[in-house]
Chains A and B, each alone.
Chain A
């Protein structure tokens, strides 16, 4: 082994021990702040969607492990370089370590839910890596110094000499020459190099370095094992287990989206809005997950995920929106959901006809109350296991959430579901109902202008005004646009798969110079026109017609 290889190894080992310590610290305090995970998350955040989609397509569910492996390799390379650089010039040690620590800390802080605390593990990693590297390099220097003093003639290095590369030989030659660099090093006497090769004494010191290195490696492995143990104990192996869930094909697959649907019809899971009260995303081990169905039902049941996946599954495109969305707001999305229809399951178990409320409970205590009728009236109320062709993402309720077409999320789409109780509205108020929100959250007919953007500056001529309108279960019959309070003009509606999704609309506007306001309204399948009067989202959803201001130049 050469000095340069040893220094590189020292760098890698130091980084490994630093990261291991940080993983342990993070596992015990804030799992999301573990440096590799945080860097991975930051990279995912910064990666443009098409590339992410490419990665997911090409690597499937291995995209995350591939990313983490890539990060670990990059870290190892940088650490090796730091080791070599630091051996050459000691001040490069803190510099290299600081770069790594800062990169980790910045990545951790950039995460959407980050606090200052998230930077701690990365800084801890840097501190420990720095200290370990310094110690290892000192062991290495000792070996080098001793070898310099005790060099005899002709003795072959006992091991590793044969594999020594040309570059390494060059380096060693350079190192064995007395040099300004070396003599300038504080705490390291300038080398009085005698002629000749290494001695048994040097080999002994090499062994001391190797022992130190082995000690560090062992410690890093033990600490890392500890970190993994803590993580498993704390969180289960949810992420890995999600990847392992194999979704069976739907007995009733969704039809392909109709031709003529514009891009953006389906919302990727990654950009699908998330409104919930969970401060940390529940990580549920699907193998131990159980759904308990009880209350006013003939036969109580406890079902595993496999029990659910063994039933006949349906797949549907459904738009889901949040009651707290302001007029024109972003908390709405459309996904292709795979799930178990709830109605047949409840009928099988013998539904008590007096029950009028389904109370869904999540693992973190959320309760959501939904009318029993919505499970029985033919709509696709379901226990969702898949979203857009993949197991439900952790943030969207893995392993199972509920979905009730036509109801706002707070009233029909409990995430991280683990209990369904059949009861009555006069016996139990769910979480948001206790806080004053409407008992039954039926979605209101609404529409939104997505293009042009508010305050846009446009060129004179034809401008495409476009957006979405929705009234799940009732469907959209008509969308109209009014410019500057003028007459309502009908917009073109693009095709839809069913009444349960939003409708994309488009209107060609001949824009004239000056400031303009553009307003939209929708009419649903029952003939009701979206109300003009403004209502706040509380307690039963916002009303009002989305109006934006633009300037035509």
Chain B
């Protein structure tokens, strides 16, 4: 598993170098996703390699490895979190919920946050009627979504413990190394995914605030 990921990392890195090379010679027409990336926030090569090395979990294999794909780790590291999530095929329900709640800009322009991002499968576990009701109720939806966001970028080393969420209640992360559970039930299936302004932990179950 790790070896595969390392290979993917290497491939992605080499791919990005070759893209950069095209850029300099300026004689090729690239059909890949056009990207105009900030150099300070995320230099196009080195730090994203670090970021890719840093993420972990079985669920990461579902993330596209092709660096030119909007949903790849490489691409996500360059853009703010809501934009990054919208490129990720695992997170489409979350993204539409964030849009419904009007939280796209707040998430994108927040200064350093941690987002616990439930996958589409996590949302599927909620009965459809309940989910539809929640999606239609902006206040409840906002409360649930902001319960998934913690101020500050939590690295895997600071992940375990109680964290005050933007909703106001604390959530509790248990575990260590590469094996974490949130509030005792949601497993981190792909952790420490880097975006320009947030660290993302993809989880397999939707969290519910206590209040």
Cα–Cα distance between A395 and B111 once the two chains are bound (Å): 24
A278–B39 touching, CB < 8 Å? yes
Q: Inside 8 A of A275's CB, which chain B residues have their CB?
A: 36-39
B105–A322 touching, CB < 8 Å? no
CB closest residue in chain A, given B143: A515
A366–B38 touching, CB < 8 Å? no
Q: Inside 8 A of B23's CB, which chain A residues have their CB?
A: 277, 365-366, 431
* CB of A446, distance to nearest CB on chain B (Å): 12
Q: Known interface pairs A364-B24, A547-B105. Does A326 touch B83 (Cβ–Cβ under 8 Å)?
A: yes
Cα–Cα distance between A326 and B28 once the two chains are bound (Å): 27
B30 within 8 A of A: yes
A539 within 8 A of B: yes
Q: Which of A277, A327, A367 has the most CB of B within 10 A?
A: A277
Identify the stretch in B40-48, B122-130, B171-179 within 8 Å (CB) of chain A at 4 or more residues: B40-48
Q: Inside 8 A of A547's CB, which chain B residues have their CB?
A: 102, 104-106
Cα–Cα distance between A364 and B23 once the two chains are bound (Å): 9
A 310-330 contacts with B by CB, 8 A: 322-324, 326-330
A365–B109 touching, CB < 8 Å? no
B142–A367 touching, CB < 8 Å? no
The 8 Å CB contact of B106, one of A324, A367, A454, is A454
CB closest residue in chain B, given A538: B34
A425 within 8 A of B: no
A432 within 8 A of B: yes
B46–A546 touching, CB < 8 Å? no
Write out, one digit per residue, whether chain A residues 509-553 have a CB within 8 A of any chain B CB (1) or not (0).
000000101000000000000000000011100001011110100
* CB of A312, distance to nearest CB on chain B (Å): 33
Q: Inside 8 A of A454's CB, which chain B residues have their CB?
A: 105-107, 109-110
A328–B38 touching, CB < 8 Å? no
A276 within 8 A of B: yes
Cα–Cα distance between A455 and B114 once the two chains are bound (Å): 13
B109–A546 touching, CB < 8 Å? yes
B20–A436 touching, CB < 8 Å? no
CB closest residue in chain A, given B80: A326
B146 within 8 A of A: yes
The 8 Å CB contact of A455, one of B36, B102, B139, B146, is B146
Q: Inside 8 A of B37's CB, which chain A residues have their CB?
A: 275, 324
Cα–Cα distance between A551 and B40 once the two chains are bound (Å): 31
A435 within 8 A of B: yes
B88 within 8 A of A: no
A410 within 8 A of B: yes
B75 within 8 A of A: no
A453 within 8 A of B: yes
A273–B40 touching, CB < 8 Å? yes
B 165-204 contacts with A by CB, 8 A: 166, 168
B 47-106 contacts with A by CB, 8 A: 47, 49-50, 79-80, 83, 102-106
Q: Inside 8 A of A279's CB, which chain B residues have their CB?
A: 20, 43-45
Q: Known interface pairs A275-B38, A329-B80. Does A367 touch B26 (Cβ–Cβ under 8 Å)?
A: yes
The 8 Å CB contact of A322, one of B20, B36, B45, is B36
CB closest residue in chain A, given B166: A455
A160 within 8 A of B: no
B111–A113 touching, CB < 8 Å? no
The 8 Å CB contact of A329, one of B24, B28, B30, B108, is B108
Q: What is the interface of chain A mostly: helix, strand, loop, or mixed?
A: loop
CB closest residue in chain A, given B109: A328
Cα–Cα distance between A437 and B28 once the two chains are bound (Å): 15
Q: Which of A115, A278, A279, A367 has the most CB of B within 10 A?
A: A279
B45–A549 touching, CB < 8 Å? no
A265 within 8 A of B: no
CB closest residue in chain A, given B41: A330
A115–B49 touching, CB < 8 Å? yes
Write out, one digit per residue, whether chain A residues 441-465 have a CB within 8 A of any chain B CB (1) or not (0).
0000000100001110000000000
Cα–Cα distance between A276 and B149 once the two chains are bound (Å): 31
A169 within 8 A of B: no
A437–B34 touching, CB < 8 Å? yes
A546–B105 touching, CB < 8 Å? yes
Q: Known interface pairs A366-B23, A455-B146. Does A273 touch B102 (Cβ–Cβ under 8 Å)?
A: no
CB closest residue in chain B, given A430: B26
A234 within 8 A of B: no
Q: Known interface pairs A328-B108, A539-B34, A549-B102. Does A431 touch B43 (Cβ–Cβ under 8 Å)?
A: no
B4 within 8 A of A: no
B151 within 8 A of A: yes
B25 within 8 A of A: yes
Cα–Cα distance between A175 and B26 once the two chains are bound (Å): 69
Cα–Cα distance between A316 and B90 once the two chains are bound (Å): 48
Q: Known interface pairs A274-B38, A274-B39. Does A328 touch B105 (Cβ–Cβ under 8 Å)?
A: yes
Cα–Cα distance between A277 and B28 once the two chains are bound (Å): 15
B211 within 8 A of A: no
A331 within 8 A of B: yes
Q: Inside 8 A of B46's CB, which chain A residues have their CB?
A: 113-115
Top 3 A-B residue pairs of the complex, sorted by shortest distance between their CB atoms: A454-B106, A324-B36, A328-B109
Q: Can you give 25 A-B contacts (C-beta < 8 A)?
A: A114-B46, A114-B47, A115-B49, A274-B39, A275-B38, A277-B20, A278-B39, A279-B20, A279-B43, A324-B35, A326-B109, A327-B105, A328-B109, A330-B109, A365-B26, A366-B24, A410-B36, A432-B34, A454-B107, A454-B109, A455-B149, A515-B139, A537-B36, A539-B34, A547-B104
Given A275-B37, A329-B108, list of 6 further CB < 8 A pairs?
A275-B36, A277-B20, A322-B36, A326-B109, A434-B30, A453-B111
